[in-house]
């Protein structure tokens, strides 16, 4: 079925911003959430130029304000009549090796990437269970497949956690009209990844998002994107020795 009314969190930049553009081209109505309202206003103008026939709602939202997450999702449902898909995309990549004085940044990454994602999943699924349909999408990462060092340490751990959480939700909702997808992007050039120097097989955000949107539209259970080389690397990463993993930062 076509998912007409779509919530995307973290839509002010990166994957969320570009996914919104691509869903606009497909004619979908969009509820776009992020902290940076000025960036959302700019995005709204761009989307209206792409497709003037769609409905667009922009909402200033900090996903770490969990009560507000539930409120925003419910109000969007009331306004649009139904919510057909929620893409849990908001995330950050702050932090450093543990024990080096960056607990605050590491905690912020853990809270934003996992606890806030949990709140978004809860809010989405309350709506989907009431409707008895919907499509939940979480954005994990290829880094979920192996522990990483340095700045990637906590980030990778949160992405492993969201992948596990989403798989559990999928099991819980098996054989129901509610579908659940986990997307594992590889290296895609966004604000989060920009500061990292060692990035093999990096693609630009538009190319990366095309493969993401394609997988989301197919409503697959799990997708590693772009398919090459990440569909293969998902099996290679867990087998790499720690001495090799130490080269990644």
* Cα–Cα distance measured from residue 146 to residue 113, given in angstroms and rounded to the nearest whole number: 17
Q: Measuring CA to CA, which residue among 228, 229, 218, 225 is closest to residue 15?
A: 225
Set 102, 155, 187, 235: catalytic member: 155
Active-site residue, 155 included = yes
> In this structure, are residues 189 and 203 in contact, taking their beta carbons and an 8 Å threshold?
yes
Sheet holding 134-139, edge to edge: 56-60, 29-34, 5-9, 85-88, 134-139, 178-185, 222-225
- Return the residue matching tokens 């409120």: 71
* Cα–Cα distance measured from residue 142 to residue 248, given in angstroms and rounded to the nearest whole number: 13
DSSP for residue 203: B
Q: Measuring CA to CA, which residue among 189, 176, 179, 18 is closest to residue 89?
A: 18
Known catalytic residues are 155
């Amino acid at each position: 079925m076509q998912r007409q009314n779509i919530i995307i969190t973290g839509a002010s930049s990166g994957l969320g911003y570009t996914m919104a553009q691509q869903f606009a081209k497909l004619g979908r109505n969009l509820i776009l959430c992020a902290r940076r309202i000025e960036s959302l206003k700019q995005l709204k103008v761009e989307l209206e130029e792409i497709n003037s026939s769609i409905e667009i709602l922009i909402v200033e939202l900090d996903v770490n304000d969990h009560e507000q997450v539930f409120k925003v999702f419910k109000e969007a449902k009331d306004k649009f009549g139904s919510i057909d898909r929620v893409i849990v995309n908001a995330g950050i990549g702050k932090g450093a090796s543990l024990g080096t004085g960056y607990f605050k940044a590491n905690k912020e990454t853990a809270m934003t990437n996992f606890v806030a994602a949990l709140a978004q999943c809860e809010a989405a699924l309350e709506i989907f269970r009431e409707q008895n349909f919907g499509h939940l999408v979480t954005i994990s990462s290829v880094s979920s497949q192996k522990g990483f060092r340095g700045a990637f340490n906590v980030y990778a751990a949160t992405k492993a956690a969201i992948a596990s959480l989403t798989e559990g939700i999928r099991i819980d909702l098996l054989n129901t009209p509610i579908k659940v997808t986990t997307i594992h992007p590889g290296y895609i050039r966004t604000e989060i990844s920009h500061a990292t120097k060692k990035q093999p097989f990096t693609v630009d955000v538009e190319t990366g998002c095309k493969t993401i949107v394609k997988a989301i539209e197919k409503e697959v259970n799990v997708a590693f994107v772009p398919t090459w080389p990440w569909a293969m690397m998902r099996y290679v990463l867990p087998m790499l020795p720690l001495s090799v993993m130490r080269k990644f930062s």
